[in-house]
Amino acid sequence: MNTTTFPASSASVSTDDKTTAIVSYLTLVGFVVAVVMHGTKKTALGTFHLRQALGLMITSVAMIFVGMVLAFIPFLGWMADLALWLGLMALWFMGLLSAVKGEQKPVAILGAYFQKWFSGAFE
């Protein structure tokens, strides 16, 4: 398991920093708005949460394809698909809650990978 740590958020996180971080989790339109907001004022908090949100969106697209395959397995496939979507929803909520608090806390399981995979994005 990857135990990458991220810099602790400072107590002086501004409302603008949090706004960009929070909006990045609010649908694809919100993500695009957050990218534009981040372009005018780049912050570490915004960069962090844009990467997390991008990773969650890509994961959800991948899960659509997995769900198409699982749909052909009666009941068990549907239950597995439901469990995956509930898990993704939990990760999304964790990311949003971290953004609201102004923290740079990666989502469980995949968050550290998102930071690594998208390390060049949004800088």
The CA-atom distances, in angstroms, between 103 and each of 10, 23, 78 are 8, 15, 35
Least confidently predicted of 8-17, 31-40, 45-54: 8-17
Q: Strand (E) positions, the chain?
A: none
Whether 123 is covered by a domain: the verdict is: no
36 in any annotated domain: yes
Domain that holds residue 60: 15-113
The pTM of the full predicted model, rounded to 2 decimals, is: 0.84
Residue 4 has pLDDT above 90, yes or no: no
Higher pLDDT among residues 51 and 15, named by residue:
51
Is there a domain that residue 2 lies in?
no
Band of the pLDDT at 123, cuts 50, 70, 90? confident
Could you tell me if residue 1 is inside a domain? no
Give residue 1's pLDDT band: very low, low, confident or very high (50, 70, 90): very low
Split into its structural domains, the chain has a count of 1
Residue 89 belongs to some domain of the structure: yes
